A and B are shown apart, each in its own frame.
Chain A
């Protein structure tokens, strides 16, 4: 029966059919995975060069340590795992299959007689009466019962949950399914990103891996972006209001927030970042603190205006999303340049959070932002992953398979009645394909039920 086929005797086959190999591969996967958690992944070459020096940098480059989870040797380990898993399963499934679907059920009383832990009791009832009672009870409880006359009485044999021996195979299958999904995803999917300013529309995204441009096949417009904050200043919600157009027709409108992406035609848009687009026009208030006189001026980026009271010129230099002032981040800040009549320039910073910041400078004027039309852009992660359903199916099978393997087992029970002159002895015993304590409890319960009948 064993090794009927030539190929299963093959050395290569035997090598891959070994559980030792599985343990070794799992060990190497675990051990090498540690490397990538200590060495930052996918940073710039300059960073690594500076951090590790030339020699180590070269060695690491060859081994692709800087992107080690996609390195040839790591993928090779995974490949070995897959082969190992398939060969090992086929090899053993043969054997397990015969247990689950036997040609004829063998019932060996001797096997149960050898078990030390039994539930025993004495019954005064006649053996035929017992036999009838037990038969109806057991058949109702277990459906299939084999009854066999023995040299000194009668024995009942019950077998349950044979199929649970497949549990481990379900787990292994789930791993294959999951890895299959990963491969499908990396072959036919993409991961990209795009930044859309409010009011603008895009129809392509940039792929993260290689910065290639990917066409979407439809248009995506960001109508509005909003960010809200808690009292303590930490962000509460990022929200983009998005419209999808196809052939100039509006298809749908949706708010995307973190944890609630937009899906359309197999492509998913996730809220991932945001920022402000450069500000085009600002209305600034120029205040003379002594006379309390205020002048309002419109100014656009790069523009230079003549200041009132013949006090020189002012330039809208740029607008930044964060500004570092003596170690403090002032957030979104307007930066201007004040040029006095002697052509001397001063940097003017006006953080939006602190409109009167310029008062500190104690200049002739205080510059203050009166109004600005601020526009956000939203940063979206855009992915297409046709493999994800295989991965999810793998997840479900894995949970089910683990549950079956850990908490269910193939069990057989034997109830033997030994005929004595007056009192019949009843022996209840059982075998589980996992040798757990649970069997003892089950046997006791079953024995008590039979005794009380």
Chain B
């Protein structure tokens, strides 16, 4: 069994976990969410194992590099970081139902990696520019940042969907209180912001050691800066202007759109970062 196989199975495990969370919410069965968490942790273990196997396989093929070098590998890692974040949040805040807005994202990223026709799971050698330890630091921190923003996005959607008045029967009202969701969104955003900051920094230190310029306004760099500006705006609005709740949820959604564009959209523009 090779890593691609392990990761395909992981995709199904993640799918099953989010199915359980959604089921738990719809049918008001707490047990299903508990089970969902167990399945999610299994998926996370499979995800971890798949990445490590792939790392080993690349050494066996004589290429010997960390599995962060193309779109497939980055999506698999993106799922991993989101799962990591989500498990941490559920553990810390002891809120189960929020998984409905977290786990589907984890599943979608890895499913997209396996299913999208233009994404290949072949292990290929590294081009000279990517042979650097900064690659590992850069990818890990960027994706931790993206994952924070992604989970924050899920929670922002949850905030916006939650009805304002308490209607006990209506199942939207089973979500955590708005003040908790608001806090969750903020926590995710500050994690994301810290890691995006480190991600941009490691990227520019790397660029400086490879090409002699720490910033060259390449579209991917520029879009990561745009994303960073949007979240900096969010922090100032919340901290200094007292924005909360819905308005912050909207800014966080806009921020995540910028993340998605930085990640996927930029590949359609000309530039250096052709794949990551």
Contacts and interface: CB of A to CB of B under 8 A. Distances in A.
Contacts of B45: none
A37 B198 contact: no
A261 B212 contact: yes
Contacts of A234: 124-125, 127
A259 interface: yes
A270 interface: yes
A23 B210 contact: no
Contact of B214 (A30, A232, A391, A402): A391
A272 B217 contact: no
A257 B130 CA distance: 12
A230 B230 contact: no
Interface residues of B, number: 46
A258 B128 contact: yes
| A30, A235, A392: residue with the most chain B Cβ atoms closer than 10 Å | A30
Contact of B131 (A22, A258, A402): A258
Nearest to A435: B183
A230 B214 contact: no
Contacts of A437: 93, 183
Contact of B198 (A23, A27, A399): A399
B219 interface: yes
A20 B129 CA distance: 42
A34 B219 CA distance: 9
Interface in A383-404: 383, 385, 388, 391-392, 395, 398-399, 402-403
Interface residues of A, number: 50
Contacts of A270: 210-212
Interface string B162-205: 00000000000000000000010000001101100110010011
Interface string A223-261: 000000010101111100000000000000000011111
Nearest to A436: B183
A261 to B, nearest CB: 7
Contacts of A236: 125, 128
Contacts of A33: 222, 225-226, 229
Contacts of A30: 225-226, 229-230, 233
Interface string B199-239: 00100111011111111010100110110011011001100
Interface of A: 19-20, 22-23, 26-27, 29-30, 33-34, 36-38, 40-41, 69, 182, 191, 230, 232, 234-238, 257-261, 268, 270-272, 381-383, 385, 388, 391-392, 395, 398-399, 402-403, 406-407, 436-437
